[in-house]
Chain A
Amino acid sequence: MRDKPQADDLLKIAESTFIQEILPYIPADRKYTALMIANAMRIATRQFDKNEIDETAEIAALTELLGHLDVSDNSDTLLTLNKQFAAAIRAGAFAPGTAGHSKARQHLLSCVQNRLAEVNPKALNGGNDDR
């Protein structure tokens, strides 16, 4: 068993210490790099906070969209379903006017929002009706 504090906690405290105590002393020509470091640590922290993106829900949604009912437990299920989904989109199976169009779009929107919540939550607050 690991001792506490562990990765998530360490990352969080390292990030806030870096921002508060180091960033003000970084020379102007290295500020951009310093901000990138802080951003990377923030993304990693959010990913720890959220644990895993809810793969079960994504698998269920894709299964419904693709009409596949037999989902095995193997770890490539999500990848396989997403590959099939991508190919079906390219083939026009979810074109405007088809039965699955609206649901497919909603699914994509929700997946994008989940990823954005981790990598750039500010982009979720644009005030648009979808956001």
Chain B
Amino acid sequence: MEIKSAIEGYLLHLDEVKTAKITDLRLMTGGAIQQNWLLDVTVNGLPLETVLRTDATSSLEDSLSRVQEYALFKHAFGAGVTVPEPLWLSDDPKWIGKPFFIMRRVDGTAAGHKIVRNNTMGGGHKILAKRLGQELALIHATKYGQAELDFLTHPTPNPALSRIAEYRAALDATDMPQPTLEWGLFWLEQNAPEPVKDLVLCHNDFRTGNYMVTEQALTGILDWEFAAWGDPLQDIGWFCAKCWRFGAANNEAGGISDRAGFYAGYEQTSGVSIDQNAVLYWEVMATMRWAIIAMKQGDRHISGREPSLELALTRHIVPELELDILQMTKGDSDA
């Protein structure tokens, strides 16, 4: 297998690697934007279980490169966030034709439906929710201005208005008018919060389905490719939004717990108390964001650029999100 010898060649060229023999290499499922390869390798006589992450065929224009993602993993790992330990990065195309990085593999599952259904996972949903709150607070402890993360997007003029402008541009780029999404965006504009004083590192995809968990504990926060500077509440809104509860709508914190436990973990670690009303704004924004992403993914199929049943069906998630938006933005005087 060509890729196998290429990866062995890469490992052997590293100063610290004297011997390297791959014992297993398999493409893991999932990942429309990235490819994850299960990679078991004996390095200097010691077995190492890793994941090799590289680009898939399609990419989203607003997602980070593998090189940037690796920098984020390094930063987060150093900051004490539970992420798989990043080991090596290559941006030289001579090995496998594209950049990749290798990280230590963590145990567990990220399958949202499974995690939500099984309330003993992560040491029990209550413990897991609190832990996730703590992890998010650790991520947000990185304030705007870190030189090693200077590639991250700075929202202009502010986190809420920059998103509204981005989503309106996305709507303008499609052929079909979307009056309900326009309705939601108008509400988001009218109710936009004052910009936060300190922008923080936002994960921007922090939700059930994007963290690894075993029966015992949380093992890793994944999927950092949308990270950017932002308002910390945007991550909290994304985590709590109804569309990311995997059918467990009553467990408002990611389908695994009530909000109190998750908020408590966050507040304890950050020392900042969470304003529930302010979170609700960001839940409308989260629902809008997922609707825009779903619409764009559907367009990739509809345009014929990338025929895919999954992309086609994702387009049909939009009406459910629109219903959520209409309900969340309902005013006191609305019938």
* Interface of A toward B, CB cutoff 8 Å: 29, 33, 36-37, 39-40, 43, 79, 82-83, 85-87, 89-90, 92, 94-96, 101-102, 104-106, 108-109, 111-113, 115-116, 119-120, 123, 126, 128, 130-131
Cβ–Cβ contact A29 & B326, under 8 A: no
Cβ–Cβ contact A89 & B182, under 8 A: yes
Q: Do A90 and B334 contact each other (CB < 8 Å), given the known contacts A29-B29, A85-B177, A126-B249? A: no
Residue of A43, A105, A112, A119 most packed against chain B (CB within 10 A): A112
Cβ–Cβ contact B309 & A120, under 8 A: no
A-B pair count, CB < 8 Å, reads: 88
Cβ–Cβ contact B185 & A116, under 8 A: no
Given contacts A36-B313, A40-B313, A90-B182, 9 further A-B contacts (CB under 8 A): A36-B309, A85-B177, A89-B183, A96-B333, A108-B179, A108-B180, A116-B320, A119-B316, A120-B319
User: Secondary structure at chain A's binding surface: helix, strand, loop or mixed?
Assistant: helix
Please, which residue of chain A has its CB at the minimum distance from the CB of B181? A86
* Pairs A–B under 8 Å by Cβ, sample size 24: A40-B312, A43-B316, A82-B179, A85-B177, A86-B177, A87-B177, A89-B183, A90-B185, A92-B186, A102-B334, A105-B326, A105-B334, A106-B335, A108-B180, A109-B323, A109-B326, A111-B180, A112-B323, A113-B323, A116-B319, A119-B316, A120-B319, A123-B323, A130-B323
Cβ–Cβ contact B333 & A102, under 8 A: yes
The smallest C-beta distance from B325 to any residue of chain A, in angstroms, reads 9
The smallest C-beta distance from B189 to any residue of chain A, in angstroms, reads 9
Q: Do A40 and B309 contact each other (CB < 8 Å), given the known contacts A112-B180, A113-B323, A126-B249? A: yes
The 8 closest A-B pairs by CB, nearest first: A86-B177, A119-B316, A89-B182, A115-B319, A82-B177, A83-B177, A123-B320, A86-B179
Which chain A positions have C-beta within 8 A of B335? 102, 105-106
Cα distance A111–B178 in the bound complex, in angstroms? 11
Which chain A positions have C-beta within 8 A of B327? 128, 130
Which chain B positions have C-beta within 8 A of A109? 323, 326
* Interface of B toward A, CB cutoff 8 Å: 29, 168, 171, 176-180, 182-183, 185-186, 190, 249, 309-310, 312-313, 316-317, 319-320, 322-323, 326-327, 330-331, 333-335
Cβ–Cβ contact A33 & B326, under 8 A: no
Cα distance A87–B317 in the bound complex, in angstroms? 23
Cβ–Cβ contact A37 & B331, under 8 A: no
Which chain B positions have C-beta within 8 A of A85? 177, 179
Residue of B29, B183, B190, B319 most packed against chain A (CB within 10 A): B319
Which chain A positions have C-beta within 8 A of B322? 108, 112
Please, which residue of chain B has its CB at the minimum distance from the CB of A127? B249
Residue of A87, A89, A111, A128 most packed against chain B (CB within 10 A): A89
The smallest C-beta distance from A43 to any residue of chain B, in angstroms, reads 6
Please, which residue of chain A has its CB at the minimum distance from the CB of B326? A109
Cβ–Cβ contact B319 & A36, under 8 A: no
Q: Do A89 and B320 contact each other (CB < 8 Å), given the known contacts A40-B313, A112-B326? A: no
Cα distance A130–B320 in the bound complex, in angstroms? 13
Which chain A positions have C-beta within 8 A of B326? 105, 108-109, 112, 130
